[in-house]
Amino acid sequence: MTPILADLTVGSVVAEATFSLTRDSLVRYAGASGDFNPIHYRDDIAQSVGLSGVLAHGMLTMGLAVQPVVDWAGDPARVVDYQVRFTRPVFVDATDGAIVTVVAKVGALDPDADVARIDLTVTFNDATVLGKAQARVNLA
């Protein structure tokens, strides 16, 4: 069921999700995306370039973050714009993995265009990993 713009209020939470990432997740994403940079699967390489360990692909984090909005909107085509700033890496421990949390809130409403701006708070270890993460959703 498609959300209705008139039913939305700025500041309201429209979706929440938690994603568990493992090293297997990173290998699968590397295969799907073609990004085989070893900082995404080898601790020794990640540490050799100054990282504390293996990190998730930025585009994987970005893709996971918008999924709750897509689910809420009911159709991926309704997301007409999506932008983020990468602020911190998501380190994926070999044993414990990583948990990424997403909270999607109504940031602004444009009744003339029937578009809602959805602001995403994306965190890992209680720190924001995507800044100014916003999706514009057409609800016409």
Inform me whether the pLDDT recorded for 2 exceeds 90: no
Residue 41 pLDDT class (50, 70, 90 cuts): very high
Residue 27 has pLDDT above 90, yes or no: yes
d(C-alpha 74, C-alpha 139), whole Å: 10
Indicate whether 72 pLDDT > 90: yes
For residue 39, pLDDT beyond 90? yes
Tens of pLDDT, residues 75-134: 999 999 999 999 999 999 999 999 999 999 999 999 999 999 999 999 999 999 999 999
Query: Could you tell me the pTM of the whole model?
Result: 0.94
Average pLDDT taken over every residue of the chain: 97
Quote the tokens at residue 136: 């514009």
Q: Could you tell me the domains of the chain? A: 5-20+57-138 (3.10.129.10)
DSSP state of 118: E
> pLDDT grade, residue 1 (50/70/90)?
confident
Q: Calculate the alpha carbon distances from 67 to 18, 29, 34, 63 in Å.
A: 11, 15, 21, 7
Q: List, in sequence order, every residue forming a beta bridge with 81; answer none if it has no partner.
A: 136
Give me the pLDDT at residue 21, please.
Answer: 98
Query: SS3 helix, strand, coil % of the chain, rounded to 5?
Result: 30, 40, 30
